[in-house]
Amino acid sequence: MSRREVIFWDDASRPAFPIPVDVRVGSWLAIPLNRAGWVAGFLVAGTTGARRAFTRRQVRLAEGIGNHASTALQNAGLVSRLEQADRLKSEFVSAMSHELRTPLNVIIGYTEMLRDGAVGPVTTQQLDVIERLDARGRELLELIEQTLHAARIEAGRDVAELQSIRLGDLVGALQTSTSGLPRPPGVTVEWEHPEALPGPIRTDKAKLALVVRNLVSNALKFTSEGRVLVRLAARGDALVVEVHDTGIGIGAEHLPIIFDMFRQVDGSMTRRHGGVGLGLYIVKQFTARLGGTVDVTSTPGRGSTFRVVLPGAVRGAADDEKRPVEIRAA
């Protein structure tokens, strides 16, 4: 083992390993397994019955097996260390996100107090500065929240908790989740949804609200004028949520990557739009946890439509019903 070479033995009185008493041992060889400069173990191969010499081809094969097994041991060690490092990274990101979120919420709270005149009247110029502070603070809070959600997803801790909810309550929760998002002055957010559904909706309200929030936030970020429309509809037993915008759109070459972690259409340091590429990744992961799918259609210069489909979410709907439920402006 110290010489790291294949050892041969043809003395049946000295077997390399415990064997049944009724098995006759012939010749055997030991193959050392080297890992990172030291011998991690060895493989033993042998024959039963008569002793005979190993051929040169068998020796080369044994050495090759030893090299492959040693490489496998090294790779297993590297994978183990990478998994440990990934767990430590996730724990660090989660802890830092919690620590950053608390003081940032306090800062935003004091900013709101200044804006509302709780410590005295403010001038128009001062109000403009306060609004800018509030907007930047909320953007940073959104980034921290997305980082925290991504860390939970990677750690496998965000499991969907399905429960029944009425359509009106769900719409109210979705509207509340998007109400504080910053929007350009020339952009409106509109809602369309059915007056009623055949039955309640079974889903995870919090996760679906986060999905819609991220989609609306993404739409507002890339829309300078026009509108962002959130449409809910039932198709058979599936709940369909669409977020349509009249923004800059997405080129066909970028569509395959937009749901990947840290991937953005414009990843340059001079890009106009903020974020680190987590919003749509979270949308895809949470949609999958809800048992659904998400896709996008887009035309550069005319806008994009993101569509989330949750099969089986509408209870009491006929399975063969394929017509969209009539919708109205909310």
* Cα distance between residue 245 and residue 223, in whole Å: 7
Has residue 212 got a pLDDT over 90?
yes
pLDDT of residue 287: 93
The stretch 23-43 carries a mean pLDDT of 74
Q: In sequence order, what are the beta bridge partners of 230? A: 191, 243
222 in Cβ contact with 260 (< 8 Å): no
Has residue 208 got a pLDDT over 90?
yes
- Closest among 106, 177, 90, 101 to 141, alpha carbons compared: 101
> Dihedral (C-alpha) 318, 320, 322, 327: value to the nearest 10 degrees?
-10
Has residue 271 got a pLDDT over 60?
no
Of these ranges, 124-128, 246-250, 306-310, the one predicted with the greatest mean pLDDT is: 306-310
The stretch 216-225 carries a mean pLDDT of 91
* Cα distance between residue 39 and residue 74, in whole Å: 11
194 in Cβ contact with 209 (< 8 Å): no
How buried is 36 (Cβ within 10 angstroms: 0-12 exposed, 13-18 middle, 19+ buried)? exposed
Estimate to the nearest angstrom the gap between the alpha carbon of 208 and the chain centroid: 15
Query: Beta strand pairing status for 38-48 and 7-9?
Result: unpaired
**What's the token pair of residue 306?**
């993101």
The helix/strand/coil state of 210 is: helix
Has residue 96 got a pLDDT over 80?
no
Among 121-125, 137-141, 217-221, 307-311, the minimum mean pLDDT is found in 137-141
Question: Where residue 2 falls among pLDDT bands split at 50, 70, 90?
Answer: low
For 297, phi then psi, to 5°, come to -125, 140
In terms of pLDDT, which residue wins out, 183 or 202?
Answer: 202
Q: What's the half-sphere exposure (Cβ side, CA atoms, 13 Å) at 187?
A: 22
pLDDT of residue 327: 35
How buried is 219 (Cβ within 10 angstroms: 0-12 exposed, 13-18 middle, 19+ buried)? buried
The helix, strand and coil proportions of the chain, stated in percent and rounded to the nearest 5, come to 40, 25, 35
Has residue 275 got a pLDDT over 80?
no
> C-alpha angle 22/28/34, rounded to 5°?
130
Alpha-carbon distance values, 298 to 51, 184, 256 (Å): 74, 21, 12
Mean pLDDT of the chain: 80
Has residue 112 got a pLDDT over 80?
yes
Give the amino acid at 16.
A
**What's the token pair of residue 101?**
């979120």
Please, what is the angle between helix 124-155 and helix 279-289, to 10°?
A: 50
Phi-psi category of residue 320: left, alpha or beta, with phi > 0 → left and psi -120 to 50 → alpha: alpha
In terms of pLDDT, which residue wins out, 135 or 217?
Answer: 217
What is the helix (H) or strand (E) element at residue 152, kind and residue range?
Answer: helix 124-155
Question: Where residue 110 falls among pLDDT bands split at 50, 70, 90?
Answer: confident
Alpha-carbon distance values, 101 to 96, 212, 237, 285 (Å): 8, 22, 39, 23
